[in-house]
Chains A and B, each alone.
Chain A
Amino acid sequence: MTGSNTIVDFDTVHHAFGDNIAIERFNFKIHRGERVAILGRTGAGKSTILNLLVGNFAPTSGTVRIDGIDPFVQHKSLRGVIGMAYQAPRLLPWRTAVQNVAVGQEIAGVAKEKREANARLWLDKMHLEDAYDLVPSQLSGGMRQRVSLARAFAIDPALVLLDESFSALDEVTARVLREDFIKVAEEESKTAMIVTHNIEEAFQMAHRVILLGRPARILAEYHTANEPKVGTTEFTVLREQIRDLMLSPEGGISAYD
């Protein structure tokens, strides 16, 4: 960790797959302790941003840094820096909840007793006190996603990445999980990037919402403290404005349209 205040830094990032431009002159920062939602339609380049962040490939031009580290060039240096939860929980089916949560620290070389104690602590925070020794096939969809979130937090990462992590759940379960995530992230002062196509989710979870056009470029930026609360009539109006913006010519078209 560099101790810098900037955790994520995209500097004039451009990325193309052949003739298809996925990201266009993208400038974007996330500061320590901040929760930022990346909101966009399918094909808006959200996955490309995530892939660049975790170092799966390098940008065509521009620079990407996480806590001062180039995720592509210094791939191994990112060990313990990013904790990620996906749309599907992606748990190891033969491992118990504790063993799944402990896997990040196991890779980091933490002793078994210590990492399993830490895993139990995180499962407690995710309200899974009774599920320590259950395997994924014995857990409900919501419980599995809680294990996945606990796994992301358990390595004490500089950045927690959520990739549509609540979109496969029913609305009631998703809402409870979002609230629990926010509570834990605030208690632990965690920096988080939430990738979603759900407008309510973005405004409920983040301090800042970045609206992406297609190809990925910033269409608008919202500081949620200055915007109406989710569930109010004013928010419904804002939501319609955002939808209109996403569907307008400014929102852009992608190769998938």
Chain B
Amino acid sequence: MARYWPVLSASALMLAIMWIASQSFDPFVFPPLPAIAAAFWKIITTQYDEVAVTLLRYLVAFAMAIFCGWLVGLLMGAFRQTFGRFMQAFISIVQAVPALAWILFAVLWMQSVEARIGFVTFIIAFPFFVIAVYEGVRDMDRDILEAIEQFRPNRMQTLRILLLPQSVTHLIIAMRSTAAMTLKLMVLAEVLAANNGIGRAMATAQSNFSIDALFAWAFLLVLLNFVLIRIISQIEKRALRWRAEAVVR
């Protein structure tokens, strides 16, 4: 129980603020908590397909961004002076384009909703993985590299024994910092460029003035974020269990 007190107390504070707000404003501005709870129940019992669509889109696009980011980051590390330098400049330009601009481009360029949302999600997450893996390879401990090179490995062995495990570390750390942000931007993309999914359902709730449903969807997104972070933390815990934890006393 002691482990959960920060989450429980923060949740209690949030509910208290919402309750005070619901008492202070009209229901169409801030609905009462029971109305939000009822809307939430309706979502999970009747609109779960919208949630499933969003999650599926997210998983596919995010997995592709991880895989492609890993591959490109490794190639950048292997050919640092040529491909590495070129891609670094290229990725900086891609990252400088606002997410909203990518969403609008996707609407203009692509007819398929899945392609649009997939593209936007991919283009947002991909650069983070590329840079994380590239920096992981670049920051490889020279002493360890030298210690392994004394055994005269070939390039593939160096890649398998040293670079892949090193890059996985950076990949997982990037996953943790990117996952929640990507999900939020993907839902925004659904608001503007999809005909189903959580984002579309939120847009519909907003145009129907269903403020309780809007709150319920937001609450669901908060829950999904927590679950996502929890899953990634578990992956991190298992995959990076060799790392010593530093404790500040």
The answer, yes or no, to whether B243 is at the interface (CB within 8 Å) is yes
> Can you list 11 A-B contacts with CB-CB less than 8 angstroms, sorted by A residue number?
A75-B152, A84-B150, A90-B144, A91-B144, A92-B165, A94-B169, A107-B161, A135-B241, A135-B242, A137-B242, A155-B151
Contacts of A93 in B (CB 8 A): 242-243
Contacts of B26 in A (CB 8 A): none
Shortest B231–chain A CB gap in Å is: 21
Residue in contact with B151 in the complex, picked from A86, A91, A108, A135, CB distance below 8 Å: A108
The answer, yes or no, to whether B7 is at the interface (CB within 8 Å) is no
Residue in contact with A137 in the complex, picked from B141, B152, B244, CB distance below 8 Å: B244
Chain A residue, CB-CB nearest to B157: A107
A103 touches B161 (CB 8 A): yes
Tell which of A76, A94, A135 has the most Cβ of chain B within 10 Å.
Answer: A94
User: Please, how many angstroms separate the alpha-carbon atoms of A88 and B241 in the complex?
Assistant: 22
Interface residues of A (CB under 8 A from B): 54, 75-76, 78-80, 82-84, 86, 88, 90-95, 103-104, 106-108, 135-138, 155
A86 touches B152 (CB 8 A): no
User: Please, how many angstroms separate the alpha-carbon atoms of A80 and B150 in the complex?
Assistant: 9
The number of residue pairs between A and B whose CB atoms lie closer than 8 Å in the complex comes to: 55
- For the complex of A and B, 8 pairs with smallest distance between CB atoms: A137-B244, A90-B147, A79-B152, A135-B242, A107-B151, A104-B151, A94-B242, A107-B153
Chain B residue, CB-CB nearest to A104: B151
Scan B138-176; emit 1 where CB is below 8 A from any A CB, else 0. Answer: 000101101110111100010001100100010000000
User: Please, how many angstroms separate the alpha-carbon atoms of A99 and B244 in the complex?
Assistant: 18
Residue in contact with A103 in the complex, picked from B141, B146, B148, B240, CB distance below 8 Å: B148
User: Please, how many angstroms separate the alpha-carbon atoms of A103 and B150 in the complex?
Assistant: 11
Shortest A159–chain B CB gap in Å is: 11
A54 touches B150 (CB 8 A): yes
A92 touches B152 (CB 8 A): no
A79 touches B151 (CB 8 A): yes
User: Please, how many angstroms separate the alpha-carbon atoms of A80 and B153 in the complex?
Assistant: 11
Contacts of A103 in B (CB 8 A): 148, 151, 161
Contacts of A90 in B (CB 8 A): 141, 143-144, 146-147
Contacts of B152 in A (CB 8 A): 75-76, 78-80, 107
Known: A90-B147, A92-B148; 10 extra A-B contacts, CB below 8 A, are A75-B152, A80-B151, A92-B161, A94-B169, A95-B242, A103-B151, A104-B151, A107-B151, A137-B242, A137-B244
Q: Which of B123-149 contact A (CB under 8 A)?
A: 141, 143-144, 146-148
Shortest B160–chain A CB gap in Å is: 9
Contacts of A84 in B (CB 8 A): 147, 150
A92 touches B162 (CB 8 A): yes
Contacts of B153 in A (CB 8 A): 107
Shortest A153–chain B CB gap in Å is: 13
B151 touches A137 (CB 8 A): no
Q: Which of B198-249 contact A (CB under 8 A)?
A: 240-244
B161 touches A106 (CB 8 A): yes
